[in-house]
Structure 1
Amino acid sequence: MGGIIVHNKIFYSWQSDLPNNTNRGFLESCIKRAINELKGMETFSIELTLDKDTKNITGTPDITESIFKKIDNTKVFIADISIINSKFEGRKTPNPNVLIELGYASKSIGWDKVICLYNLDYGSLDDLPFDLRQRRIITYSLKHKQKSEIRNEISSKIVDNMKSLYETGGLKNIINDYIKVQVDTEILTIINHLNKIVFGYSKGNSFDSISKFLNLREKEIVKILKNSNFIGFQIFKKLEINESNLRQIVDKTISSSYHEKEPAGVIIELVRWIAKFDKFNSLRINPNLFQSSHKKANEFKVVSGYSINKKNIKFPDRFLLLKIIDAQHGKVQDFGDFIEKHKIEKLQTIFTMNPKNIEEYTNLVLEFIHIVEKWLDNTNGEFIIDNAKMFEIKNIENQNG
């Protein structure tokens, strides 16, 4: 696995009852220092980023729900459980909100991935609730000490904890990561196909074009569809193979007790969207979805995948679109699966979209983008790319280039 790096998050649960220079701000600097130290270690191959409260959440979300969702998607939870009422003669306590988040984290990701920080200058460990005293606690005191030395000590202990978790596999969820790679591959394949419709063949399929596609707005899509010409190869693809692959993933996911159910629901939404998109794009439902110019794009050549490799029975309806270089050579520009014979005969024909269908087609694209955003929200916010599959695609291009 590789490609786009997945930024595994460390969630920092802080409190502002105590001075910033001894707790909130000071401890954040310790965590950041630990992250930077881990980044420099060759033996530690997981990319980490710091997350906290409702950072990077726009608008005015339900704070509790937003924080809990962030905790669900974090690899390690770090909490400042220092006593906030040390001068009070009654029962001593850490910040109540921190305790709520800590309790949720213990159930969501497990105590083994929780690190507690405790400032002894505001209370002894005996002031903590009994069940907390038994947990992984990094204590510190700044009285009569150099702050830089204590910062180094805390950072080193966080690093040691993280290394221990990493070495024992605590920072990895093999099942979830494996399923995510599979789903991301299907999503990126569909984005690739839709990208070719929206941006044509000049933009390529770089990470920038993926980001640009996912940030498209309704007016932009409508304008593009109104003013663009398409060839049949761009617009007639069937996504049945992607649907079939995702259905298999759903079955595995639902039957697995190790995978969260919310992402499984998003995969089901993807499956339903593909079925709806293919139905809308079929000759039976919308025979006049695209209007033919009766002209051909002669700079391209369509080749059956079967004619290249007769042993490849897995994709019997797969075709390649070659950009002609000379009489003997062509470069792979696109690929896709085509089932309807009438459409296969017109893969090089130039079309425009019927104005009557632009609004509904736009809504389908926007619905797909929304589902992808929901998937990313539930799976760490970024794609994981399977480099082996990317190599297979590049290898096909090289053989035909």
Structure 2
Amino acid sequence: MDLIIRAPRMVTPDGERSGAVGIRDGVIADVADELDGPVFIDLADDEVLLPGLVDTHVHVNDPGRAEWEGFATATRAAAAGGVTTIVDMPLNSVPPTVDVPALDIKRATAFGNTYVDVGFWGGAVPGNLPELRPLHTAGVFGFKCFLLHSGVEEFGHLSTGELAAALATLRDLDALMIVHAEDPTLIDHAPAPHGRAYADFLASRPPDAEHRAIATVIDLARRHHARVHILHLSSAGALPMIAAARRDGVAVTVETCPHYLTLTAEEVPDGATQFKCCPPIRGAANQDLLWQGLADGVIDCVVSDHSPCTPDLKRLETGDFGQAWGGIAGLQLGLPAVWTAARKRGVPLTEVVRWMSTAPAALVGLTGKGAIEVGRDADLCVLAPAAELTVDAAKLFHRNAVSAYHGRTLTGVVRRTWLRGREVTGEVPHGKLLER
């Protein structure tokens, strides 16, 4: 063995246990009660060994908007949060990843600058239907589309007819379509976001906009026998229709995000635009139902939707929710945020690992990730589940010091991270670029 890690507690596919993990050539070679070798690490009694998290919803924004975030800063933040694999969204980079030349530019930008492994989503936008098959062949993990304005001009949104045509193409490729599902008509008829009152912003993104859009996606997936995934579910009111669609055999999966599970509309101060995201953070009663959706298995996974920007775009000086960029920067804090809330609700760490590592890896077909199991990559992290940290945005590895978690005390500290058996120290990036 190149390295043996001995742990009083570790989370495996069979549950929590004590034992040792033997690593050879970057792969888990053995998991046993005891292992001995010349190079070993003994974890402390207050530490738990977890598989590295897999975050399939990250906006790195590089190239083109690297001042918002970049591969070096995003992946260093990921590693500090126990995340060992990310899949990068096709926007808000310039160019967006909507054809193979743009994917080549994205990969060239990331090459040699990643502290964790990185894969890429392709984009489905008006006019690029002929590009979907070449992007699929080039190794993207699936395709993202919007059903309403994406927030950036260079990444257009699909009409219902365009989504239907894209799903027909992706069905033949057995490729996954991931969807930002909010209905544009309902959003257009809602009150326009304006001013400092969070309640006014919340009214501008009504739950019914999510429900109607998700119903459309499910209907098209049913008709075209396509695989679809609902991104960043905010409204728990959509859960019954998703569960019913699955019972009917529709291939639909769904994710939610740490901020929807840990933050509530009731606690967002007026003018606090660092909390703005779309769809929005909703009320505490809705949050309880999202947790129930996870417990029931209707929600498959929890991923960050890390969507950072420069501080000026958050309009922090005015606190105007109508003008501020919508997005939560939470890549480094997802595990402690979710664990803090899960612990209070009596949810075991094994479930958090399933939602944040095993299920996202399975979603995108990364069979070598997501579990402490022989034959998988030795992507591991050490969590001290009872230790506390008070978030200081300026000390995070994200490029910009803007965080909805600033000042909050979270339970669960990530102390070490290994990528394929090599510890991530922040000195030398050794992440790989992944293909489907």
- TM-score under structure 2 length normalisation: 0.22
Greater helix share, 1 or 2? 1
Q: Between Structure 1 and Structure 2, which shows a larger proportion of strand residues?
A: 2
Structure 1 or 2, whichever has the larger Rg, is 1
Q: Which has the higher contact order (CA 8 A, sep 6+)?
A: 2
TM-score, normalisation: structure 1: 0.23
